[in-house]
Amino acid sequence: MTNNPGPSGSMASNSGPTSPGDPGLSTSLLSLRGISKNFGAVQAVENINLDIPPGQVTALMGDNGAGKSVLIKTISGIWAPSSGQMFWKGQEVHIHTPRDSEHLGIATVYQDLALCDNLDIVQNMFLGHEKTKVGLLDEIKMELTTKQTLADLSVSTVKSVRQLVGSLSGGQRQAIAVARAVMRDSQLVIMDEPTAALGVSQTAQVLSLIKRLAERGIAVLVISHNLNDVFQVADRAAVMYLGSLVSSGPISNYDTSSAVELITTGESSRVPPTVVAS
């Protein structure tokens, strides 16, 4: 996090605020143009241009402090951007609160998952969106919908949907958080380090869950440190370095070593600097 845009500064600046006929806007679900966020004098992210297409998994990579978390929190409305524009299906939108992003169809699955351990799976799935009948909670409807959603996503490892979430494993919790997003008809699911704390088989379960989301036409933006995971599920990659987006494009443009180079130095001799809006 620095005022210095770094070695990538020249690349990022070649697409300022959008111009009419910007091709990225028509094909993307969400497009960021020149998004910056600063906290006082600290520039956390600067001039980000990124297109997120529907039905694809976009991996957002970067070292600690590269600004990944700030960027997704800006998209999900935790913090309003200091400057820049956001386009949802080609229309400019202003996201100021988590509710704003949720209304658009953006769901964020945070690292700490934002689940209530003292509530059961059904209660967590519908938290803040309970179904009611004559003013009282309609538990049967909520339980049926929960079971259906988990079945659709082939989440079969939970014994009972009336289990407390506090008793679930890391992978199961991740699955519940994702299922909650899917159940609310989210079109973009943002996941922050979904496999960070998971074992091998649970990681595999979560990765296949991510693929299933994309197959359903949902756009997925995954933050990950784990390059194995990224190359396994991602269709596109975006790399951040010191608050700037230094590279983005189809995953086939990258391999492990070029990705590592971009993450650690902000540039790579072998990857053409693809900037989305250009």
Partner 1 sequence: MGQVRKLWRGDSGMVPIVLGLAILVVYFQVRNSVFLSAGNVTNLFVQATVFILLGMAEIWLLLLGDIDLSVGYTMGVGAAITVILVDHQFHWPWYAAFAVTLLATTGIATLQGLIVIFFRLPSFIVTLAGLLFWEGMLINLVDHQGIGGSISNENKVLYNLVNGNFTTLFTWIFMVVVVLFMAQSMVRADQRRRASGLVTRARMVLVFKIGALAVAGIVLALLFNANRGTFIVLQGMPYAIPIDFAVLAAGSVILTKTKAGRYIYAIGGNSEAARRSGINVNRYRLLAFALTGLTTGIASLLYASRLGGISDNIDSSLVLYAVASAVIGGTSLFGGRGKMIHAVIGGIVIATIYNGMALISIGPATQYMAIALVLLAAVTIDSIARRGSTTN
Q: Nearest approach, Cβ of 77 to partner 1 (angstroms)?
A: 10
**C-alpha 200: how far from its chain's center?**
22
What distance in Å separates the CA atoms of residue 243 and residue 61, rounded to the nearest whole number? Answer: 12
Q: How many residues does the chain have?
A: 278
Burial tier of 41 (Cβ tally within 10 Å: 0-12, 13-18, 19+):
exposed
Nearer to partner 1, 42 or 114 (CB): 114
Q: Nearest approach, Cβ of 117 to partner 1 (angstroms)?
A: 6
The contact set with partner 1 (CB under 8 A) reads 98-99, 102, 108, 110, 112-120, 123, 127-130, 132, 135-137, 140, 143-144, 160, 162-164, 166-167
Q: Nearest approach, Cβ of 79 to partner 1 (angstroms)?
A: 13
Write the CA distances from 226 to 2, 16, 47, 152, 252, integer angstroms: 25, 31, 25, 27, 17
Nearer to partner 1, 2 or 132 (CB): 132
Burial tier of 1 (Cβ tally within 10 Å: 0-12, 13-18, 19+):
middle
Q: Nearest approach, Cβ of 161 to partner 1 (angstroms)?
A: 9
Contact 34, 48 (CB under 8 A): yes
Q: Nearest approach, Cβ of 188 to partner 1 (angstroms)?
A: 16
Q: Nearest approach, Cβ of 98 to partner 1 (angstroms)?
A: 6
The DSSP symbol for 180 reads: H
Nearer to partner 1, 26 or 148 (CB): 148
Nearer to partner 1, 1 or 119 (CB): 119
What distance in Å separates the CA atoms of residue 81 and residue 222, rounded to the nearest whole number? Answer: 20
- Transcribe 34-57 into DSSP letters: EEEEEETTEEEEEEEEEEE-TT-E
Nearer to partner 1, 122 or 219 (CB): 122
Q: Nearest approach, Cβ of 138 to partner 1 (angstroms)?
A: 10
Nearer to partner 1, 139 or 255 (CB): 139
Nearer to partner 1, 188 or 277 (CB): 188
- 């966020």: which residue's tokens? 37
What distance in Å separates the CA atoms of residue 245 and residue 13, rounded to the nearest whole number? Answer: 10
